[in-house]
Amino acid sequence: MSDKGIEIEYLKKINLVQKYNKHYYDNDKPIVADQIFDLLKKNIIDLENKYEFLKNKDSPTRTVGFKPSKNFQKIKHKVPMLSLGNAFNEEDLKNFEKKIINFLSLQEINIVDYSAEPKIDGISASLIYVNGKFIKGLSRGDGTEGEDITQNLKTITDIPLVINIKNFPKEIDIRGEVFIENNDFKKINKNFANPRNAASGSLRQKNPSITAKIPLKFIAYTYGHAKEMKIYNQTDFLKNLKIWGFKINPFNKKISGVKNLIQNHKNIEEKRKEIKFDIDGIVYKVNDFNLQKRLGFAANAPRWAIAHKFSPNSSISEIINIEIQIGRTGALTPVAKIKPVNIGGVIVSNATLHNEDEIIRKDIRIGDTVTVERAGDVIPHVISVDLKKRSEESKSFIFPLNCPSCEGETVKDYNVITKKKDAVRRCISEGYECEKIAIEKIKHFVSKEAFNIDGFGKKIVENFWHLKLIRLPQDIFNLNYDAIEKLEGWGKLSVKNLKFSIKQKKQISLDRFIYSLGIRHIGQENSKIIARHLKTAINFFKLSNAKNIESLSNIDGIGSTQIQSVKNFFLNKVNLKVLSELEENLKIENTVLINNKGLLKNKTFMLTGKLNGISRAEAKSLIEQNSGKIISKVNKKLDYLIVGEKATMKKVSIAKELNIKVIKQTEWMEMLNKTS
């Protein structure tokens, strides 16, 4: 599969994650079971690990939960409430431990102790205590800020309101899970789909007296921040939680060795039905807090913890129809419409067929009886066909050679690496010529991490498109508000609010602006990297000159695939028109560099060879934390080449020719006032 095809599949998965998150966190009505969502996240993470060019602002590696509800005051967490990476088998756990050992530069013989804690399927909450008093309670929200649900949390008897224990920290953020035990849920199940929904719905009641009537429980398992706490590992922290008056999971264990983790996982899964509350896996945390601190975080998840999930499910259904969906990048994706079937408590009516090659390989046809699995894809997928039940009148599905939207030509890109054509068929429209692509591009333009216009969601984009109120992104800033006011469901107040929201977004940062354009392979992180390099919108617009685009080749993290995508974007006349008119309507802020007062300010570095006692990832992190910059090529822009064991001599030789300082690890550490 070509890079383009891979990205199309990847972006479809990302879009589904967003959809699932909204239903799960914001609506309290999940439309898929946790196993599907967890395996979907794994599939996305695997793709990102395999293909460096895959980056997206909505990736589960960069986001947590969903934006807080408007019904409650939003409060920022002092320490973000991050999600966890997932493991599904022994190989995943081996890779997890291997990454820990490599990052910390440990030897394979070093034993890593883990705290193994069953993962409760409930609602995460943060309890803030000051001088022993519970003063504030927050939901996870989007991980950065949560909802103030203090009064509702105070109705839960498991949560102590005052703690007078000598070693209780002066200030601490206790974190845990709010849930309902299965027997208690049976008494109220007429009002809720499952225990988790019941817990979530109860915590988000505006009236705490209603929440008090629901038998909510709370189990504590970690902390966000703490002052004057002298506890040095997770096992001791859990013991102290119990002393302080909190309930903890009775199945917590300290375990070392992947084999032992697997056995414990098997034991817990076997007795899962006997446990009085729902669990969906086991969380493994590096037990030593000092090692946790060294390992730190990667995007939106800690490097020192992972959730080992339980098994997914599958079921049998019949394909009613096969529809072709068209994504923002032109990918034609076949989706099977199946007879609704209950898979693990979730009603499933759609199943992805991935691409044309997949349909041919499995010989999937309309009318087939198929096995549908809730596994590692964006939506449930068809894994096999029961040929014995196939009708004699059955006909092979003919994949369209023309775009179902614009009837334009579709192609399968040729991959020069694999010497094969891409499995994904794509509409060749590069701009806004194809209706379906244009609609999806505008949806992306107004999305949360782009312009994030309040009250301008996907359904409004579709509605305004069909009413011919918008055709290109700049039309959003020149809407006919008189016409909108006459539409059903709109009035003077709602139009006034929309107008205000749009006006508020006329000022935008350069990185968000670049991201909003939906350039292929240029996700949120790449947009930030490019913005930091270009600094101003004027420099970005100058990329219409092909010579200026070549300057991007010196940016660490931006490769030939991304550069070619930028070129293709600027070669399209409609895209240039969009840029020109947006420039007239918007105030695009110059990029402000963060943390520009570090010890390595204005210095560029490159690493070669193996470092002593520190991994390359940790070294790069230290450089960036101290305002230094990592670049990928030895050229005149490089200030220091840090040389470790078995360094690439060609890089050293070029550096010396260019009079670049070649330094050892010890010299670099001295620059940071550290010792190796």
Tell me how far apart the alpha carbons of residues 622 and 630 are, in angstroms, rounded to a whole number: 11
Give catalytic residue positions.
Answer: 119
Torsion over CA: 428, 429, 435, 439 (sign): positive
563 membership: H or E segment, kind and range: helix 560-571
Please tell me the number of Cα atoms within 13 Å of 20 on its side-chain side: 25
Residues 376-385 as b/e (b if ≥16 CB within 10 A, e otherwise) read bbbbbbbeeb
Q: What distance, in Å, lies between the first and last C-alpha atoms of the chain? A: 44
- Helix ranges (H only) for 81-135 are 90-103
| 315: β partners | 372
Token reading at 325: 């969906």
Q: Do 314 and 373 contact (CB within 8 A), yes or no? A: yes
Distance in angstroms (rounded) separating the CA atoms of residues 84 and 62: 11
Closest CA to 443 of 461, 429, 427: 461
Token pair recorded at residue 614: 């520190």
Do residues 30 and 23 lie in contact, with contact meaning Cβ atoms separated by under 8 Å?
yes
Q: H/E/C letters for each residue in 330-392?
A: CEEEEEEEEEEEEECCEEEEEEECCCHHHHHHHCCCCCCEEEEEECCCCCCEEEEECHHHCCC
Among 621, 478, 635, 499, smallest CA distance to 554 is for 635
Cross-strand partners of 217: 179
Cα–Cα distance, 220 to 48 (Å, whole number):
32
